[in-house]
Amino acid sequence: MSEKVQCPCGRIIENASEYKLLYLKKELSEIDVLCPNDTCYLRELGYVKFDMKGDEAKFREASFYPPFVTWNAGRVGSERAEKLLKAHLRQIALKEIDWKMIAKVTPTAPAAPTTPTASETE
């Protein structure tokens, strides 16, 4: 029985450093976890969400999508798949994401709009 994760496209993923991470959804504070196979029909396997606390990006949650989880549960059993996938997510969040760089390129929430004073409108 295999102890490695596999994408439904057939790509074996031995460790979390193999996934491709795409930070496109800046307004949602979300990093996409992509299959390392460029021709994968699923492509997006999961996500990592975070919050901005001042000038720092703080991990909020991470998850793989059901097709990827179900595929691996069918291959290695649900308990083993859960452990493997959680370990991959943990490694992505702790070792693969450069949180300082994410914080640098993430726009912080704009300040609340202020109403103009009487002197500003004249």
pLDDT digits (tens, 9 = 90+) for 90-108: 999 999 999 999 999 987 7
Per-residue confidence band for 1, with pLDDT thresholds at 50, 70 and 90? very low
Query: Phi first, then psi: what are they for 107, rounded to 5°?
Result: -70, 135
85 assigned to some structural domain: yes
Domain count across the chain:
1
User: What is the span of the domain harbouring residue 51?
Assistant: 5-108
Question: Stretch 70-80: mean pLDDT, rounded?
Answer: 95
| pLDDT level of residue 72 (50, 70, 90 thresholds) | very high
Structure tokens at 100: 């300082």
- Whole-structure pTM value: 0.83
Q: 23-29, long-range: CB within 8 Å, 24+ apart, which pairs? A: 23/102, 23/105, 26/105, 26/106, 26/107, 29/57, 29/60, 29/106
Residue 13: inside a domain: yes
The reply to whether 23 falls in a domain is yes
Look at residue 120 and tell me if it is in a domain. Answer: no
Is 115 within the bounds of a domain? no
Q: Does residue 67 sit within a domain?
A: yes
Residue 112's pLDDT band (cuts 50, 70, 90): very low
Q: Write the pLDDT tens digit of every residue in 9-60.
A: 999 999 999 999 999 888 889 999 999 999 999 999 999 999 998 889 999 9
In a domain, 114, yes or no: no
Instruction: Let me know if residue 118 belongs to a domain.
Output: no
Per-residue pLDDT, 115: 54
